A and B are shown apart, each in its own frame.
Chain A
Amino acid sequence: MTISQIQDNIVEEFSVFDDWMDKYNLLIDMGKDIPRIDQKFKTNDHLIEGCQSKVWLRPEFRDDRVYFTADSDAIITKGIAGLLIKVLSGRTPDEIISADLYFIDRIGLRQNLSPTRSNGLLSMIRQMKLYAMAFKATGR
């Protein structure tokens, strides 16, 4: 599946629910099955400082593709990390760098799900793209 197809699937999944509480429940569920970062990597090196909750994000570069694992101490944030991983993990650096993440607006993540400042959404995206650029530049 392309990045766009995955995004479209997510948009469809969220569109089933009218009520924001149901959308939250979906996000909470997504947080439960994210590719979890190994406990030993939950260090300051992998910490993304969101304003209110901690997010750890770790990239691995295998066969020209970037794979992400993550965790957070807040479940909603974990769900948001899970969504980003679903879309961006297992992609080439170029795909990640150029990805237009339109699903964020379409499911109302930016406007409705949370103030971006407090959940670190933008910091997470920026960090994922930075990792991709680094892998592209160094080739490892």
Chain B
Amino acid sequence: MKDISEIRSDFPILATKVYGKPLVYLDNGATTQKPLSVINAVNEVLTGYNANIHRGVHAISDRASEEYEKAREKVRGFINAGKREEVIFTSGTTGSINAVAFSFGERFVHRGDEILISCLEHHSNIVPWQMMCERKGARLKIIPINDKGEVIIEEYLKLLSRQVKLVAVTQASNALGTVVPVKKMIESAHSAGIPVLVDGAQGIKHGVTNVADMDCDFYVYSGHKIYGPTGIGVLYGKEKWLTELPPYQGGGDMVENVTFEKTTFNVLPFKFEAGTTNFPGAIGLGAALDYVLSVGRENIRYREQELLEYATQRLSSIPGLRIYGDSASKISTVSFLLEGIHQYDTGMILDKLGIAVRTGTHCAQPVMERFGISGTVRASMCFYNTREEIDILGTGIEKVISMFS
């Protein structure tokens, strides 16, 4: 594996100073930083061959189309999808889930049906289902979690009734870090004939994701959470589903033939890519996936687990600090609270020390409610972080405690 100083120098922003102090970026759960190769790839599109894809007969349009489709192939390979037709570019996790919620809902969900999600979901994997259920007269059911922040599998199995039309579950919790046993859950759902959508927003950068092995029916994630640009995301769907689902947006490029009487739709994947897509973003995402593969996904996972262990140890040694979410299997995220100190106060002081953490509910209010708290402070690490940065966080937290007590 590349050594850490080499890795850090790939990410220009990591050399930034805030308030005169070196930036300690521990908010990777919200968005990740971009390596130079991604910045350069996007820059190259905009300076070298920016032209609308799939439309032109001219050279740079051809080039842009070709690079866009190359990016699709990279996405396909990265998650081991069977076919390029199964890979749709969207605006992000939220866009992907909304697309499935709408299209799947229109086609398969009726009054009295149920959609099953877990208590760990962030708002992106709650609200689109709520909206769809309201439209279709269906009900949203919640799989409960235990005190460690793990999905309770026995309860899940009980909830897999005949009414359930779809299970939508996260691969890893953004608020607590819990890795969810999605493969096992998919197996159970499938044996009851129920399809499963896996929200990979946090999971995609954790180890190797293999949709063929997992056997999920849909898999969604955002480019910006795996070192790619914002505004680009992925919807993977098994071909049999994508063929059956109606398009959720109409427009250019997704059509085959348009008259005022009738429009016939283009083939997959274009059926779900209405209008001019974010092709610079897609190409940037392709570069990000290349970068991740060049570092090595197993290397990344190993390093992040090491950081998680170190951070858990360091933070646990601080009196009055409580960690939320202590599943045996976690992504590199530590959610915590200091006794008697509001998470907002903690976050504000850490910010002044140059440390970027997330505070609040992490767009996952039901998780916070489950633990009876109004929010937490979350340090989410990734492979470019260091033990020294965790130490700075530890010292920062101790400073917070001394200021507020």
Contact = CB atoms under 8 A, between A and B. Distances in A.
Interface in B319-371: 341-345, 347-349, 352, 359-360
Contact of A25 (B341, B375, B403): B403
A118 B344 contact: yes
Interface in B11-31: 19
Contacts of A37: none
Contacts of A75: 341-342, 345, 404
Interface string A66-83: 000000011111000000
Contacts of B344: 52-53, 74, 76-77, 118-119
Contact of A24 (B342, B347, B352, B360): B352
A114 interface: yes
Nearest to A50: B344
A51 interface: yes
Interface string A31-58: 0000000000000000000011110000
B317 interface: no
Nearest to A75: B345
Interface residues of B, number: 16
Nearest to A21: B352
Contacts of A10: none
Interface string B393-405: 0000000000110
Contact of B349 (A24, A51, A73, A77): A24
Contacts, number: 42
Interface residues of A, number: 18
Nearest to B352: A20
Contacts of B341: 75
A75 B348 CA distance: 11
Nearest to B353: A21
A52 B404 contact: no
B374 interface: yes
Contact of B375 (A24, A52, A114): A52
A28 interface: yes
A74 B345 contact: yes
Interface in A108-128: 113-114, 118-119
A67 B194 CA distance: 60
A18 B347 CA distance: 21
Nearest to B340: A75
B83 to A, nearest CB: 43
A20 B359 contact: no
Interface string B375-395: 100000000000000000000
A32 B398 CA distance: 21
Nearest to B404: A75
A28 B403 contact: yes
B374 A73 contact: yes
Nearest to A52: B344
A134 to B, nearest CB: 29
A134 B76 CA distance: 60
B403 A52 contact: no
B19 A20 contact: yes
A114 B348 contact: yes
Contacts of A113: 348
8 contacts: A21-B349, A21-B403, A24-B348, A52-B347, A73-B374, A76-B348, A114-B348, A119-B344
Interface of A: 20-21, 24-25, 28, 51-54, 73-77, 113-114, 118-119
Closest 8 CB pairs of A and B: A74-B342, A74-B344, A52-B344, A53-B344, A52-B360, A74-B345, A20-B352, A76-B345
Given A24-B352, A53-B342, A76-B345, 10 more contacts: A24-B349, A28-B404, A51-B360, A52-B344, A52-B360, A73-B374, A74-B342, A75-B404, A114-B348, A118-B360
